[in-house]
Structure 1
Amino acid sequence: MFDIAWSEMVLIGAVALVVIGPKDLPKALRTVGQTVARVRRMASEFQGQFNEAMREAELADLKKQVEDVGGSVQSALNTDFKPIDQIKDFEAPKPDDAALKEAEAKLASLPAPAPLPPVDIKPDAPK
């Protein structure tokens, strides 16, 4: 985290031993450890509160987007449907009697289809 090598830690320990003294060194290290733990706890609480605030902001944005979509859908449902082109009723052309009689004559002149051969269905052998 602080990019301190072991040799630097040993040097810091030796200086602390000379400055603080061997009698008070354990008490000083305990105090430093408690202070570091307290600072870490405060940092994690701050990070948790920051993440919670970010989540709430994201939820507020998402809620706004959903409300916008719901409003646009509601406004689309409230408007009357007006198609661009009106549907026109087209009348089918009346068949020509001469053409109809000619088609019937061609159909009557065709040979009748041959009958289909009989189909023999055999049951499957039991397994």
Structure 2
Amino acid sequence: MKSAEEADVVVRLVDELVGSRWIDQHGTEHTLPASELIVVAPYNAHVAEIRRALARDDVAVGTVDKFQGREGAVAIYSMASSSVDDAPRGMSFLYDLHRLNVAVSRAKVRAYVVANPQLVRVLCKTPKQVRLANALCTYVEMAAG
């Protein structure tokens, strides 16, 4: 599963962020280098698509599993799928709370989730699906303020 559209959004976001200013936990202001960006995706095919679109080696791009324990000032999580029905490995993989948590918690300063808005408008058929969708919906609500 890959999404050229989401990869393009990630590229624009990276271009916008590199060179911007950020303040660390000690109150020191820094210019954001590309090396402080982490781009996370759930699928290897989407990781490859993002790398191709970025066309640069100074931004770390990988799956959730690759970034266990690693941090950057900014983390971008690109979900790749436009709907639950299209998601390889199903809803339980795409909406997995652990994956979402690992992806966004890699950020020391700010986390972005790049996803199709339809992913928060999913029609759940079971209580398990409601629990799975709830994590992403809650994250979106919190991010919106």
The answer to whether TM tops 0.5 is no
Q: TM-score range by the shorter chain?
A: under 0.3
Q: Which has the larger radius of gyration?
A: 1
TM-score normalised by the chain length of structure 2: 0.14
Which structure's residues are more often strand, by fraction? 2
